[in-house]
């Protein structure tokens, strides 16, 4: 998985840049129960999930 490519996503709350949550070594991304990536927005202090449907074909 290329973390650089998915490292940032637009925050759905204020359209600022959210940062991918990972483990301490920034190797394994945090995911929720559905396997969606977790992001943290420093602007509004919200965490949000992002569906990686654009990157993986889930048929
Ligand atoms: Zn935000």
Is residue 59 in a domain? no
What pLDDT, on a 0 to 100 scale, did the predictor assign at position 1? 60
Contacts 24+ apart (CB under 8 A), 37-46: 37/6, 37/9, 39/8, 39/9, 39/11, 41/11, 41/13, 41/14, 41/16, 41/17, 42/16, 43/11, 43/14, 43/16, 43/17, 44/11, 44/13, 44/14, 44/16, 46/11, 46/13
Q: Specify the number of domains making up the chain.
A: 1
Ligand 1 centroid to 38 CA: how many Å? 13
Ligand 1 centroid to 46 CA: how many Å? 6
Ligand 1 centroid to 26 CA: how many Å? 21
Ligand 1 centroid to 4 CA: how many Å? 20
Is residue 47 in a domain? yes
**What residue numbers bound the domain in which 45 lies?**
3-54
Is residue 12 in a domain? yes
Residues with pLDDT less than 50, the chain: 58
């Amino acid at each position: 998985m290329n973390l650089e490519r998915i490292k940032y996503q637009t925050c759905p709350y204020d359209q600022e840049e959210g940062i991918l949550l990972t483990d301490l070594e920034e190797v394994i991304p945090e995911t929720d129960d559905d396997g969606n990536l977790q992001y943290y927005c420093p602007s509004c202090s919200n965490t949000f999930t992002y569906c990686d449907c654009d990157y993986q074909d889930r048929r």
